[in-house]
Structure 1
Amino acid sequence: MSVQTPQEIAHGSATTLDQQSLKGAALLTLATIAAILAGYHETTWSMVSIWERSDTFAHGFLILPFSAYLIWGQRKHLSTFSPEPNLPALAVLGALGFGWLMATLASVQVFEQYFLMAMIPAAVWAILGTRMAWAIAFPLAYLLLAVPFGDVFIPPLIDFTADFTVWALQLTGIPVYREGSFFTIPSGNWSVVEACSGLRYLIASFTLGMLYAYLTYRSLRRRLAFIALSVLVPIIANGIRAYLIVMTGHLSNMSLAVGVDHLIYGWIFFGFVMLLLFWIGSFWREDNGENKGADAVPQPKPDLRQGSKGSPKSVVLAASAVLAIAFIWPVSAAYLENRFSRSTEPQIEIPGVAEKWEAATSPISDWRPKYIGAATQFLQNYRNHHQAVDLYVSYYRNQQQGTELINSGNLLVPETESYWRNIKENTRGILLDSRQVTVKQSQLHSPDANLLVWRWYWIGGEKTASPYMAKFILARNKLLGRGDDGAEIIIAARYEAASDEAVPVLQAFVDDMMPTITRGLQHAWER
């Protein structure tokens, strides 16, 4: 039988109280995070809905459980710390909230989602303190992978896959005729579309590679090396996959790998590549077969429950401050959106220029861009003797998600439902209002016609071809109370053999018609 001294009894009581205090702080932090996600429910739901409808981003459902499991695995290590609320973290939280507001005003959904998810680590930092937040830095940062981001990589991935496939086919000795992402070999026609870009493989590999590197390696160099491999390997593997599928179709006289079965072959091949990657990575593992999540980042020294700086009252005050700062921004967004909403429909009138460009009834082709959610659209053909140009204007007002000017659903040529092809896309410097401006240039092809297309944005009186600058101007205008009116101006001219044939026609149209186009948009904005 042992007898405890009064000091031992007091120390045990203090330890019990500290443990209860830590549990209370942890529960309060979880409640605060839940409240933030609920307060930003539109952004939260936008992520969940994308996870649900898109196989590419369905991994988002697993990120939160993975992060929670990693944190739970460090519970013993975390029990050696006391919560110490951090005031500077509140400034970081405020900056993230302002970033979310700007992203909301600009209708940049992916930035809204990133800023929201970044608020979670900031809230943990503010409530529990630097040492505890640093101890679980990786699980908190891993939450950012829940954001459904990656569509921006689809065009370059398509280009790389097409380049690799054509190069491999030519290396094999098979003749190839290529137009953009479409190519023809003697046995049939092929194209690299969005589903073939390899984005799903890349996201899956990167997500798993990050987790594997965290759990398996201790040195930063090995982690970064494996993460780099988890990015490079799926990109190259997708090129090999595309080549093998084309070869399978070619050698089978187009009876195999020409339907949904080629997607099945692709996932089987990708699964084999990932197993090979992890098997190779296991030769340099540093965890000795154990999960040492607590060693994932350099750990601060535990305080051993002595001299705790964070009283329960300070933790509650920190959580209250976090909620107060976090909720400022959705309230501000709702106020700004409602204040400057306009009920009138814009009307666009763009007459021709006397003795130069006159409005005509017959367009140069049957091509029409596909733009969704526009408040109004203007389509008109103009002719100047033997020259002809089609003008398309999609005008937006009261923009919101799904009905905004800059939207991935706004396309020159839909991937399906059209026999038109966008065979090349780049930029070109032109003279616009007597100054050099870079516009987007596209070459469209159909069995009946070739078109050269120029396009740029008009946002509240300012012109730019950059979607990023357009979003910035839009957010600034809404923040300053100037409204959110914007339009995309698209002009198209035909050519026979070389696209440069249409350049002087389009430039002449811009030189003569731009003042009239600007006046028409300005009048629509002021109505």
Structure 2
Amino acid sequence: MRMQTRLLWWFGAFTLLSVFLWPSFASIVAIWERSETFTHGFLVVPIVLFLVWRKRHGLHVLQYGTDWRALPILAGNGFVWLLARLVDVLVIEQLAAVLMVPILVWLVFGLAAVRYLAFPLAFLLFAVPMGEWLVPPLMDFTASFTVFLLRLTGIPVYWEGTFFSIPSGDWSVVAACSGIRYLIASVFLGVLYAYLNYRALWRRLLFIVLAALTPILANGLRAYLIVMIGHLSDMRLAVGVDHLIYGWVFFGLVMFLLFAFGNLWSDAERPSLTEAEPPAFEMRATPSAPVRETLGLTLGLLLLVVWPLLGIWIEARSAVDRAWTGPEIASELAGWSPVGTDLSAWTPQFLDASETWRQDFAQGDEPVGVYLALYGQDSGEMVNSEHVLVVQKDPVWRSVAQTSRSVDLGGETVRVTEARLKSTTQSLLVWDWYWTNGYQTASPHLAKLHEALTLLGGGRLNQARIALYTPIELDEEPARARLERFAHELLPRLEAHLRALTENQDD
């Protein structure tokens, strides 16, 4: 097949990719625009084009050929994209969409081209806004590291989760203080620097590891210094916008030292600005017969478009029309009386639900409450990192402890997330879990998996996020026993009403 014809196939495949997976690519750009953490995404494509241009001389000597081995990879990646699209796992959906590019290069131009362009194609993954799952552990590390240094300094600290107090004031580590921005920016620059400045693989890997570890440790030190500046200045400095300014100045200094150190142990002979032709083993590609090549490329294009079309069909037939009857449940509970006054001023943040239901109950002088958020294919996603029991920087409430616990919920043992919430006037014990077409779990990953299996099996999606809560006095055990008794009474009736939503739609 002539190179001009092969390029036409490539542009055709890329056009179909852009059209049918446009929502995935548009969501990537939208995150670049609104999130300072991923603003570097706008630089990824220009950098990739520059890296390909450096290899332009070697591209002239490669032997190209359609590679059928890319077809099962293309099909598998498309299936992963479809699953992620159906269950709203945006980062996996975006990752699968971006991975389509190197897979199509493999299919259209052959394995030799993919090997030769391995780094530029792999660098495309930095376009995907991923890594936010690291925020909670980074927050915990920053808090513990800061407290450790404060105590090492001799300052008394009261520490509770990501909140700590010293004699001069109260501090908390929020998402912006986790260091995720520094980490992602450092790894992004570190990977590029290592590739451009080293030839030895071990040098490249070592520098990348340093680029990942340095910002984590530096962010902990930055947080400690900010607390110390605030403490020594009687809370006049490093508590406002200068807090962020100090952080970025400190990060810039750390990155300068990191690259200066990396420059000391660079290879004796660095890669040139323009790379020469590829090694001999990368030029070995067996040309295919024209008919076989055309058939392989045609199958590839079909595999590219079948998944988006299948997704549209599944989403169209899986919507559930809701007729929620929450008030009827309140009248069916024996021994628990609905109360009109609010048990607590706390409200979880479960966004974009199609319906919500909240009701407080009492059995004698023992109060409990239930908060229910309904989700389906016609609403937002039930499993989302933005759905939280307490938002960061809440002026009243904070989550001081959270764990997973197995409890007996209406005759079925289920793992729930148990959280202890605290305000200046009240402490709450909260049990929180997911319900998907009768399947109950506290794991967001298992909830997503069951959602995918339901949709692929042709079922209609019916989901709920359930939270039970009760006040804590002196001991948590009476509160747990109270929630368990209430769950035994509530959940069989609640599940019957939830199941009826789907059954009525099927009828």
Q: Name the residue aligned to 1:388.
A: 367
Matching residue of 1:8: none
After TM superposition, give the deviation of residue 184 of structure 1 in Å. Answer: 1.4
Task: Report the CA distance shift for 1:345/1:44 in structure 2 as closer, same or farther (over 3 A).
Answer: farther
Deviates more, 1:467-476 or 1:29-38: 29-38
* CA pair 451-425 structure 1, distance change in 2 beyond 3 A: same
Is 2:493 aligned against 1:525?
no
Q: Number of paired residues?
A: 503
2:436 is equivalent to residue 455 of structure 1: no
Return the offset for 1:295: 9.0
Deviations 1:52-104 (A, max 9, x none): 11110111111111112111111111211121110110111011111111111
Q: Deviations over 1:168-224 (max 9, x none)?
A: 111111111122212111111111111111000010111111112222222332222
Higher mean Cα deviation, 242-251 or 345-354?
345-354
Amino acid at match of 1:466: S
User: Matches of 1:332 and 1:415 in 2, distance apart?
Assistant: 39
Distance 2:61 2:197 in 1: 24
1:435, distance to aligned residue in structure 2 (A): 4.2
Match of 2:353 in 1: 374
State whether structure 2 residue 241 is matched by structure 1 residue 260: yes
| Local SS of the residue matching 1:174 | coil
In the other structure, the counterpart of 1:499 is: 476
How big is the shift at 1:302?
A: 2.6
Q: 2:31 aligns with which of 50, 60, 84?
A: 50
What residue in structure 2 maps to residue 327 of structure 1? 305
Shift of the alpha carbon at 1:31?
A: 4.7
Does 2:98 align with 1:117?
A: yes
**Who is 1:425 aligned against?**
402
What is the CA–CA distance in structure 2 between the aligned matches of 1:122 and 1:309, rounded to whole Å? 18
CA distance in 2, matches of 1:337, 1:38: 19
- How many Å separate the matches in 1 of 2:79 and 2:423? 46
For residues 26 and 215 of structure 1, do their structure 2 counterparts lie closer, same or farther at Cα, with a shift above 3 Å needed?
farther
1:131-142 to structure 2, matched below 5 A, reads 131-142=112-123
Unaligned 5+ segments in structure 1 are 1-17
- Would the alpha carbon gap of residues 32 and 475 (structure 1) be closer, same or farther in structure 2, given more than 3 Å must change? same
Which residue does 1:405 correspond to in 2?
382
Deviation larger for 429-438 or 186-195: 429-438
- Matches of residues 115-514 of structure 1 in structure 2 within 5 Å? 115-286=96-267, 288-291=269-272, 300-303=281-284, 309-310=287-288, 318-348=296-326, 349-351=328-330, 355-399=334-378, 403-416=380-393, 418-514=395-491
1:94 equivalent among 75, 78, 89: 75
What is the rounded CA distance, in whole Å, between the counterparts of 2:15 and 2:219 in structure 1? Answer: 39
Structure 2's unaligned 5+ residue stretches are: none
Q: Deviations over 1:422-445 (max 9, x none)?
A: 122221121234343221111111
| d(CA) in 2 for partners of 1:46, 1:287 | 43
SS in 2 for 1:415: coil
Residue 322 of structure 1: how far off its partner (Å):
2.6
Q: What are the Cα deviations for residues 472-495 of structure 1, in whole angstroms up to 9, with x where unaligned?
A: 111111122211110011001111
Q: 1:242-296 CA deviation, whole Å, 9 max, x = no partner? A: 0011111111111111111111111111111111112212222226243378599
Please give the residue correspondences for 1:4-19 in structure 2 after superposition, counting only pairs within 5 Å.
none
Distance 1:340 1:164, change over 3 A: same
Q: C-alpha separation between the residues in 2 aligned to 1:78 and 1:268? A: 42
Shift of 1:121: 0.8
Measured against aligned partners, the alpha-carbon deviations of 1:328-349 in whole angstroms (never above 9, x if no partner) come to: 1111111111122234444334
**Residue in 2 aligned with 1:11?**
none
Task: Tell me how far 1:513 sits from its aligned partner.
Answer: 2.5
Q: Normalising by structure 1, what TM-score?
A: 0.90
**Contact map agreement 1:110 1:147 (CA 8 A) in 2:** yes
* CA RMSD, 1 decimal: 2.3
Cα displacement (A) at 1:111: 0.8
| Stretch of structure 1 that moved more, 437-446 or 287-296 | 287-296
Do 2:460 and 2:502's aligned partners in 1 also have CA atoms closer than 8 Å? no
The normalised TM-score by structure 2 is 0.93
- Quote the Cα distance in structure 2 between the aligned partners of 1:157 and 1:379: 34
- Aligned counterpart, 2:16: 35
Contact 1:25 1:315 in 2 (8 A): no
Secondary structure at the residue paired with 1:342? coil
Return the letter of the residue paired with 2:421.
L
8 Å CA contact retained: 1:425, 1:441: yes
Is the 8 Å Cα contact of residues 215 and 293 (structure 1) preserved in structure 2?
no
Residue type of the alignment partner of 2:306? I
Match for 1:285: what amino acid? S
SS in 1 for 2:159: strand
Deviations 1:461-508 (A, max 9, x none): 111111111111111111222111100110011112343442221122
Q: Which moved more, 1:410-419 or 1:255-264?
A: 410-419
* Residues 348-405 of structure 1 deviation map (CA, whole Å, 9 limit, x = unaligned): 34235655222222232111112221111111112222221111110112246xx111
Sequence identity (%): 40
Q: Secondary structure at the match of 2:421?
A: strand
User: AA paired with 2:248?
Assistant: W
* Aligned counterparts of 1:44 and 1:143: Cα–Cα separation in 2: 12
Query: In the alignment, is the contact (CA less than 8 A) between 2:319 and 2:378 conserved in 1?
Result: no
Compare 161-170 and 507-516 and name the one that shifted more. Answer: 507-516
3-state SS, counterpart of residue 350 of structure 1: helix
Q: Is the deviation greater in 504-513 or in 91-100?
A: 504-513
Asked if 2 retains the 8 angstrom alpha-carbon contact of 1:350 and 1:517, the reply is: yes
